[in-house]
Structure 1
Amino acid sequence: MSEEKLYAVKNEEGKYCDCEYEKFLPLSESYCPTMVSEDNAKAIVNDYGGHVVTFIEEPKKVVLTKEQAKIIEVAHGCVWPARYITDHSDNSNGLEELLMNAYVNGYTVAKEKKYNVKVPHTKEVWYYKSGDTDLLTIFPADKELRGKFTESEIEHYGLQDCEKEEVTDDEV
């Protein structure tokens, strides 16, 4: 998060001091309502009244795995969320701090990478899923249509030793 801040002066009526015209206007009508100096904002308050409003950059959301996101979801329902996060994370690798940041600043769940998986010892034959348990083979022209596996699916089907190529979002 950036340490740079913007300041404005707002009065009791909800209007902002326009630095260009030196009068309070609705925000939508104000030409220059912000400044980079807190001291200047305080000087305006002394001269014209109102109070200083600080604008700060919104922190970026933390990217979590599904398992980490579940910890945050449960923590939001706890009486002592920090304790729940501490009890369910390993602080030695920085996970606790990551989860605390996610709790406070929000989070997104990382998309699982997907792969096309090649049948071993063939030139151009690839696997695809048919139902929950069946694997069938296809040729390269069809692999973009149906051959996408997550890491957990590759493990489930025992395809860890197979050649794989990552599928990007624009290919999905």
Structure 2
Amino acid sequence: MSEEKLYAVKNDEGKYLDIDLPIWWDDKAGSAFKRIDLAFRWAKKYDGHVVTLIEEPKKVVLSEKQAEIVEDAHNDKLPACYISSKSDDEELLMNAYVNGYTVAKEKKYNVKVPHTEGWHFQKYSSASKLGPRNNWKPFPAKDIDSNMSKGLFLFTEAEIEHYGLQDCEKEEVTDDEQ
């Protein structure tokens, strides 16, 4: 948030002054002033008072795990204590608690696994039990049909590490491709 302040002129009815017309508006904001002395002159001329306009603080970007901690803190009697007991990023999470947050989307990648020509490497999950006796098994590309989830072939950084695919060539997938 910048240190510069903006000012507006408001009347006793809660309407804002638009100096271009000049007219009082109740359904939209009026003129904003960078200098308080100008705002006071207009306020005096039109029998209003000066108010400071406050910028909305920017929301913090959190991981899913951090967002869960902040959500759980809202249900705790001592939110600050809860946050400090669950994370080392106290300042970040308290800022998110007070000002709001958004959850960052994890980057996903298509991974090119060597020695699997004609085969796709697939994550093992309940949705990918394709082999006999529910053993995980890659399957030929020709067996992929339109009903299969494309998400089975996308990997996060953590999954790439989990499956030992760090040395494989990877290609980031954009939101359009997911």
Q: Which residue, 84, 90, 112 being the options, matches 1:86?
A: 84
Q: Distance in 2 between matches of 1:65 and 1:138?
A: 35
Does residue 136 of the first structure (1) align with residue 138 of the second (2)? yes
Q: Distance in 1 between matches of 2:137 and 2:155?
A: 11
- Give 1:158-169 correspondences, 5 Å limit: 158-161=163-166, 163=168, 164-169=170-175
Q: TM-score, normalised by structure 2?
A: 0.72
- SS of 1:87's partner is helix
- 1:49 to partner: Cα distance: 3.4
Q: Is the 8 A contact 1:4 1:56 kept in 2?
A: no
Structure 1 unmatched ranges of 5 or more: none
Q: Percent identity?
A: 54
Higher strand share: 1
RMSD after superposition? 3.1
The change in CA–CA distance for 1:29 and 1:2 in structure 2 (over 3 A counts) is: closer
The residue that corresponds to 1:106 in the other structure is 100
The residue that corresponds to 1:26 in the other structure is 25
The residue that corresponds to 2:63 in the other structure is 65
| 1:71-126 superposed Cα distances (whole Å, 9 cap, x missing partner) | 11011222322222222221xxxx11111111121111111222223333245643
Q: Which letter maps to 1:76?
A: H
- SS of 1:70's partner is helix
**Residues paired across the two proteins, number:** 164
Q: Is the 8 A contact 1:113 1:150 kept in 2?
A: yes
Structure 2 unmatched ranges of 5 or more: 130-135
